[in-house]
Amino acid sequence: MKMINHHHRHTGVSLLVSLLLASPFAVAVEYKDHTFSAGDASLQHWLLPAVPVPADNALNADRIALGKQLFFDPRLSGDSNMSCATCHNPLFGWSDGLPTAKGSKSMVLGRASPTVINTAYNTLQMWDGRKKSLEDQAMGPMMSNQEMNMNIPKLLDFLQKTPDYSASFNKAYPGEAISEVTIAKAIASFERTVLSNDSQFDRWIKGDKNAMTAQQVNGFKLFVNPDKGNCAVCHSAPNFTDNGFHNIGLASFGGATPDVGRFAEKPLKLMKGAFKTPTLRDITLTAPYFHDGSASTLEQVVDHYVQGGEVKTNLAPNLKSLTLSSNEKADLVAFMRALTSDHPAFVLPVLPH
């Protein structure tokens, strides 16, 4: 613990810690090896692999369809007025367009609703990583009195007494009861289909040289260049996240009782005020930004990084002020705009009776 407190000194341990948390050297090497031409072999690790699926919850159409109904069904909440989609709404990039979430009885909650897009690739869920998987996460919001304010007996009773639901559970998980386990598995199965993997950037990586503009290609170079944007040190390939936790110096960390983020789970000094690196895929759909919703636009996000964070106590070692011209800042934003996929109009599920 002691040595982590002194991470700025170049001890062997501190080097190891920074390697584990986010690997600056990998980015430097990656940058040198890049040729930055569409389809180049050195860039292929930016393409997302197939979605990882746990051995005990194989994906199939019945599970996905059931999970989709559960995700959109307000009858899973205590007051029958809130579903997962209230805060993770496809019309708002699977978030809610709010600085921080609005919970039960319009209570304003402490953190922003993250998108569900590409959460299938997260190694830990939630801003502080307190949930290990989508299955592990799914019952939490239903049981929270600040969110869907439901209770298990009432929930199971409703699902068992709704004939279309009991038939769908039977088909999706034959031989298993309707339970917290199967409800969570179905919801997680649906979430594994909420993906962004066909953006302009993906098409450019695959070799379509017209998929990104020259400005966007330059923005990508700045994004990975450790001497310029240095963004990819944390927003790394392929999902633009290292699945790590960092304090990026938001103004809210300077408050009297700041949200300590990851520190609540891992009480290491470096983790105080550290939050999970979010994906940047589909980022144009999910403003406002940061766990506290403090940036309304991508331009404001870039300005935050240029000044190297606002509150500089306990800042992540990789967070440094940047030297970027106004053209370069615009290029970075233009690049982030290339990360949004074209999605066909989302078809809402028909809810069971």
- Distances in Å between the Cα of 8 and the Cα atoms of 314, 316, 343 are 11, 10, 44
Residues 300-329 that bind ligand HEC (CB under 6 A): 301-302, 305, 316, 318-319
Nearest CA to 238 out of 96, 103, 339, 344 is that of: 339
Min dist CB 116 to ligand HEC, Å, is 5
Binding residues among 165-224 for ligand HEC as defined by CB under 6 A: 187, 191
Among residues 121, 127, 201, 204, the one that binds ligand HEC under rule CB under 6 A: 127
Contact call for residue 63 and ligand HEC (CB under 6 A): no
Q: First vs last Cα of the chain: how many Å apart?
A: 55
Residue 206: other Cβ atoms inside 10 A? 15
C-alpha to C-alpha distances, 230 to 26, 195, 223, 241, 298, nearest whole angstrom: 12, 26, 6, 13, 16
Question: CB of residue 309 vs ligand HEC: minimum separation in angstroms?
Answer: 9
8 A C-beta contact, residue 245 and residue 271: yes
Q: Near ligand HEC by CB under 6 A, which window of 2-10, 207-215, 229-237, 338-346?
A: 229-237
Write out the catalytic residue numbers. 147
- Our finding on whether 120 is near ligand HEC (CB under 6 A) is no
Q: Count of residues binding ligand HEC (CB under 6 A)?
A: 53
**By the rule CB under 6 A, 94 interacts with ligand HEC:** no
Q: Which residues contact 44 (CB under 8 A, 6 or more apart)?
A: 205
**Peptide bond just before 141 cis, omega within 30 deg:** no
Do residues 1 and 14 lie in contact, with contact meaning Cβ atoms separated by under 8 Å? Answer: no
State the minimum distance, in angstroms, from the CB of residue 41 to ligand HEC: 25
Binding site for ligand HEC (CB under 6 A): 82, 84, 86-88, 101, 103, 109, 111, 113-114, 116, 119, 122, 125-128, 134, 137-138, 141-142, 147-148, 187, 191, 229-231, 233-235, 246, 248, 250, 275, 277-278, 280, 283, 286, 289-291, 298, 301-302, 305, 316, 318-319, 332
